[in-house]
Structure 1
Amino acid sequence: MKKIYYLKTCDTCRRILKSMDTSDYILQEIKTNPITVKQLEELYKLTNNYEVLFSKRAKKYKQMDLKSQHLTEEDFKQLILEEYTFLKRPVIVNKKDVYVGNTQKKVSVF
């Protein structure tokens, strides 16, 4: 499966999507079509870590004072499912490989 989880209002996501050929990918906009438990668990199987999928740059991370809390893997999972902004983006699944976030090194693979 080739899929991209993104946020259409995110400038970085738009820039990355514009720079790559997405014709073979299923695009899922996470605000209007939130990630499901099953989808998140599939991503976990590829990463073996919910924290890797979690965005600590989200505004709500600071608002909820999550930095001062000890979060478990289950906490990260639940937060991502409850609030779309906690999913680090874009998440690009290319068959058995997954690329999370937007560093230039990760993006240049495509």
Structure 2
Amino acid sequence: MKKIYHLGNCDTCQKILKEVGAEKKQVQLQEIKTEPITPDQLDQMKELAGSYEALFSRRALKYRSMGLHEQTLTEKDYRRLLLEEYTFLKRPVAIVGNQIFIGNTKAVVEALKKAL
């Protein structure tokens, strides 16, 4: 399975999709704002990533506005927040076979290119 969860209006996501050649390599794309992540999809990502926290973005604007930076969050909290609000997912998240690539750092993008 080759799948990438992304945001359609995120310039960084669009740049990465183009850079890795997602369309040419027949990768299934899921735009998480219009097609929200299901609990099963999130649980699959967690199995590959090791934790919900690894999928959680502390850079999201709502992280501070909701006062989450002042709380100690549990895995249950991370899961609930990821399902409630798409902006909390570190983007993009790519799954290639049994490998997961989370975020947009140079190293992650390079590893994703090689895997595809």
Shorter chain as normaliser: what TM range?
Answer: over 0.9
SS in 1 for 2:108: helix
Cross-structure match for 2:3: 3
TM-score (norm 1): 0.97
Poorly superposed stretches of 4+, deviation over 3 Å: none
Cross-structure match for 2:28: 26
Distance, in Å, in 2 between the alignment partners of 1:87 and 1:105 is 19
**Seq. identity, %:** 52
For residue 107 of structure 1, the aligned residue among 106, 109, 114 is 109
Report the number of matched residues.
110
Deviations 1:62-92 (A, max 9, x none): 1001011010001000000000000110001
Alignment of 1:52-67 (within 5 A): 52-67=54-69
What is the CA RMSD across the aligned residues, in angstroms? Answer: 0.7
TM-score (norm 2): 0.92
Give the unaligned 5+ runs of structure 1. Answer: none
Alignment of 1:26-105 (within 5 A): 26-105=28-107
Distance, in Å, in 2 between the alignment partners of 1:44 and 1:20 is 23
Q: CA deviation at 1:24?
A: 2.3
